[in-house]
Amino acid sequence: MPSPGGISPDTTRGDEGGTGRRQRGAGGADQRLSRDRIIDEAIALVDSEGVNALTMRRLGTRLGVEAMALYRYVNGREDLLEGVVDRLVSSLEIDPGARMEPADGWQAFLQWMAHNVRQLALDHPLAFPLIATRHPAAPWLRPPLRSLAVVEEFLDGLLRRGFTEAQAVRAYRTFTSFLLGHLLLESASRGAQFSGPETPLDEGSAPVPNDDAALSLEGFPTLARLALQLEKDRVEIEFEEALESLLERMDLELSQ
């Protein structure tokens, strides 16, 4: 039967690597437990009750298994949260395709990107704080545009619309700051929570699949070329520039 998140359950035979093992679900129905199904159910739980409700025990209950059974597929709550974030971010439609050409201009491109990210926050308001606050795969990846594929499309889209490399990097920083501040406030107004109560169990030395130590930029030529510029720490300068810009806009409104 379909999984709660709409993804077909894993039909792989056997349990090598922890995949494809049958579990007895709620109501006595045989269902296959898999990492995908666990993450789907985790997203459904967060969407309905918030991040604080997501514990391994609660998730196991919803799936009809003991909490420890989940550890065959996820390396604890931290790995589970990373899986949730990866799944949500990967749902972003990052390629405007035939609907938009470079001739449409950078304003139209940024409008499209902003509304795309905002729709994700509106669809998952209680889960959005995870996207905004979880440690990204690299320090220079700024939430909510925290996916290599998304940032590659963003920077390449601006370069194809006349931005220099330095201008594209500054735009990325400014744009993400705007999105993060606005969408976190909007999510909070819809009941989002910003912390979790569960203390992770001792998981030994099990590796986490989303380890950021070996981040590869292969396949992302724009990111590889601009990585050094993206790594520069300009937080204080950006704060002052953003504040000055805000005050200038306020002064302009008052003078009209």
Domains of the chain: 19-86 (1.10.10.60), 96-251 (1.10.357)
Q: How far is CA 85 from CA 37, 51, 174, 179, in A?
A: 15, 12, 22, 17
Mean pLDDT of 78-107: 82
Mean pLDDT of 141-151: 90
CA distance 228 to 86: 24
Mean pLDDT of 172-197: 81
Query: Taking all residues of the chain, what is their mean pLDDT, rounded to a whole number?
Result: 79
CA distance 38 to 7: 11
Q: Strand, coil or helix: what is 22?
A: strand
* CB atoms near residue 168 (< 10 Å): 23
Q: What pLDDT, on a 0 to 100 scale, did the predictor assign at position 127?
A: 93
Residue type present at position 132: A
Quick one: which of 247, 228, 244 has its CA closest to 236? 244
By percentage, how much of the chain surpasses pLDDT 70? 76
Mean pLDDT of 227-252: 82
| For the chain, the helix, strand and coil percentages under 3-state DSSP, each to the nearest 5 | 60, 0, 40
Residue 31 φ then ψ, to 5°: -140, 155
CA distance 62 to 15: 21
Residue type present at position 73: Y
Mean pLDDT of 6-27: 43
Q: How confident is the model at residue 66 (pLDDT cuts 50, 70, 90)?
A: very high
CA distance 240 to 238: 5
Q: What pLDDT, on a 0 to 100 scale, did the predictor assign at position 99?
A: 62
Q: How confident is the model at residue 254 (pLDDT cuts 50, 70, 90)?
A: confident
136 has pLDDT over 90? no
